[in-house]
Chains A and B, each alone.
Chain A
Amino acid sequence: MPSRKRRRPRLIGVAMAAIAVVSAVSVGAVIGRSQAARPSTAQPDLPNLNGIWQALNEANFDLEPHPARAAMSLRQDQPYNVTTNIPSPPVVALGAVGSVPGGIGVVDGGSIPYRPEALVKKRDNQKNWLERDPEIKCYLPGVPRATYMPYPFQIVQSPTSMMFLYEYAGAVRTISFKDPGPPPVDSWMGQSVGRWEGQTLVIDVTGFNDQTWFDRAGNFHSDKLHVTERYTRLTNEHLMYEAIIEDPEVFTRPWKITMPLYRRMEKNASLVEFRCVEFVEELLYGQLRKKPLAN
């Protein structure tokens, strides 16, 4: 019988020995060498990132600084003497609920350094947001977008491996601490390889497809995307999150976003399942029903 054919064997630590359950006592400990150089035993000097975290900002609406606007999708014609654009017909019914809160932006230096032709595509994406934003179809969000969507995510951290589970769409990433080599296949969430630099968890994410966006404003990338994430524990309740974004096909230089992440403090805080697939079946398949529903 044939084997399950795999690109390469998985690298597993001999013992995924205990978690870096770092008590508050050890947080201040000096961290030296990288994870790779450490034995795979308990590592009480590493920061403990376990918990449920969430961004609290407007980045998922638009990474760049932006004023409030009436809707994500706006009419292209503006027939009246309005001070703000009128929402496009499909989203008018949402009223203020469908509007976009303004935000000071999370991009270092303010704007994203698009190549000229890529900027044209970004603007086109934004105009066609309803048809193109993968979030509308409940598609996997990619990185870094998963981090700052308006849903919490949970980190499960052991010394040799780590898992991030995002409430949105149940998206999940596993972070390997041994370099498994080049990603065998493009994926929505990419291949994540982690290391520790002092108190900071650094994750190199590569192997993306070109299907995910950065926000609801049409900011996009190609399959050459390389994201370098940095998670630094500021206090027990705060992480600082940075993501350096490189994609020479779309941007003229690497650029960076920065934002704090906050621990969900509720007693018994818990991710609640958000399998949005069923929520979008009418949108995706409604016209293929035997009896399409009346509007």
Chain B
Amino acid sequence: MDHRYSTFSWAVAVGIVLSAAASSTGQTPASGASAAANKSGSSSTSWKAPRTADGRPDLGGVWTNNNITPLERPKQWQGKAVLTEQELAELKQLAAGVVEGGDDAIFGDNLVLLALERKKNATSRDGCAGRAVTEECATSGNYNAFWLPTRDFHNPRTSLVIDPADGRIPALTPEAQQRAKAAAEHRRLHPADGPEDRPFGERCLAFGVPRLQAAYMSYMQLFQTTTHVGILNELGYETRIVPVDGAAHIGGSIRQWKGDSRGRWEGDTLVVETTNFPQKGAFMNATDALRLVERFTRVSPDILNYEVTINDPKTWEKPWTILIPLKRSSDQVYEFACHEGNHGMAGILAGARAEERALTQSSEGSTP
């Protein structure tokens, strides 16, 4: 049941914002960008980023994460951190086969995972989030491929996670395992008793910092001044304004969905430290102990490396780091009026009440 609720809500909530895109012209994928030319994670020695008037690298503009790269390294790539150009080309072919002739939206990491399984004309697995893939949850019927952008293959790495070296997120602490277990049990018993039982994103409260999922409104627009950097994420239309003038963090009693960010320059890298997250955060079940260090570095004309170290000792056994080579985009970032169009929430709750009534009636009917 879960997946039907959640996808229904999403479709309605975002449909309003993006419906106009139906008549739009297609975006041409960047051409000629080979893995080697755009090699991520390493800075070319000859290239120097354009500067602002105050001499900082100019980070302004729209950047996207439409990479194929999965968050964690799949078992098929165990022991392999980087793909060769030929392997990337093969992956691209396999990925094209996954959606060949099909019109289903393959979200997030599922595309690369299906490609590695050499699946053809696959249906999405977005109903299987956090569960074993079964035929039931692997069906779709909610989103089609129209909603997703063309994937990029410029990142040769086999996972976004670059630390630990195995490309896998460190183990959950016993406390976090307990939390996850309790949360799963709560979801099972109370899937939609009230709005609080639904995920934060479905409620249009927050989509979490940092943003790791590719290819679904994964656009970031940066605005840069001497004293502040504005970071606007299209998904959720959430904005952070990061002082880079040495201002102190706000008080510890003020907890925010997006935390409280403070920036500084380390050479040509913008370093942003974020604290003040809520006890129950929107990022991967992290807590108020979450501390992020984001590092923004331009490494080539079209690539902005976005490296994030995630540290929450209440949730993971040790800190972990991801690297996403964001790509410059000529796209426009659109308003995401999530809450305003969230007819899905009323539909989810009303649907759950209707199911309960039907269950009551059928059990009454079967009682002699």
Contacts and interface: CB of A to CB of B under 8 A. Distances in A.
Interface string A267-295: 01011110101100100110011110000
Given A21-B225, A184-B20, A285-B195, A290 B353 contact: yes
Contacts of A170: 237-239
A288 B339 contact: no
B95 interface: yes
Interface stretch (B165-173, B178-186, B226-234, B284-292): B226-234
A133 B36 CA distance: 55
Contacts of A7: 20-21, 23-25, 332
A85 B28 CA distance: 62
B25 A8 contact: yes
Contacts of B203: 277-278, 281
A281 B28 CA distance: 41
A162 B223 contact: yes
B333 A174 contact: yes
Interface stretch (A62-70, A185-193, A220-228, A248-256): A185-193
B332 A10 contact: yes
Given A184-B24, A187-B17, 11 more contacts: A1-B148, A139-B339, A163-B232, A180-B332, A189-B335, A271-B241, A273-B256, A281-B196, A285-B345, A288-B350, A289-B193
A18 to B, nearest CB: 3
A292 B241 CA distance: 38
Interface stretch (A90-98, A117-125, A150-158, A236-244): A150-158
B349 interface: yes
Closest 7 CB pairs of A and B: A18-B53, A4-B149, A16-B60, A185-B20, A42-B53, A18-B52, A288-B349
A137 to B, nearest CB: 8
Contact of A21 (B28, B54, B99, B258): B54
A165 interface: yes
Given A10-B331, A158-B60, A1 B22 contact: no
Interface residues of A, number: 61
A41 B58 CA distance: 11
Interface stretch (B4-12, B130-138, B246-254): B246-254
A5 B26 contact: yes
A6 B224 contact: no
A19 B225 contact: yes
A24 interface: no
B77 interface: no
Contacts of A169: 339
Contacts of A162: 223
- Bin chain B's interface residue count: 35 or more
B194 A285 contact: yes
Interface in A1-41: 1-13, 15-19, 21, 41
B89 interface: no
B129 interface: no
B212 interface: no
Interface of A: 1-13, 15-19, 21, 41-42, 44, 50, 138-140, 154, 156-158, 160-163, 165, 169-170, 172, 174, 180, 184-185, 187-189, 211, 268, 270-273, 275, 277-278, 281, 284-285, 288-291
A13 B61 CA distance: 8
Contact of B241 (A15, A16, A156): A156
28 contacts: A1-B95, A3-B149, A3-B150, A4-B150, A4-B331, A6-B26, A10-B331, A11-B330, A12-B328, A13-B60, A16-B58, A17-B58, A154-B241, A163-B239, A165-B241, A170-B238, A172-B237, A172-B239, A174-B221, A174-B223, A184-B20, A211-B340, A270-B243, A277-B203, A281-B196, A284-B346, A288-B350, A289-B349
Given A170-B238, A187-B335, A15 B26 contact: no
B220 to A, nearest CB: 12
A140 B20 CA distance: 19
A42 B58 CA distance: 12
B145 interface: yes
Given A5-B24, A5-B26, A163 B204 contact: no
B239 A4 contact: no
A5 B28 CA distance: 9
A1 B96 contact: yes
Contacts of B318: none
A8 B334 CA distance: 12
A8 B232 CA distance: 20
Nearest to A276: B339
Contact of A277 (B205, B224, B254): B205
Contacts of A270: 243, 247, 250
Contacts of A291: 193
A277 B204 contact: yes
Interface string B183-201: 0000000101111100000
A5 B146 contact: yes
B91 to A, nearest CB: 13
B221 A6 contact: no
Given A3-B149, A163-B232, A187-B335, A10 B330 contact: yes
Interface string B16-43: 0111111111111100000000000000
Contacts of B107: none
A41 B17 contact: no
Contacts of A156: 223, 225, 228-230, 241
B25 A19 contact: no
Contacts of B20: 7, 184-185
Given A12-B62, A158-B224, A163-B232, A2 B146 contact: yes
Contacts of B60: 13, 16, 158, 160-161
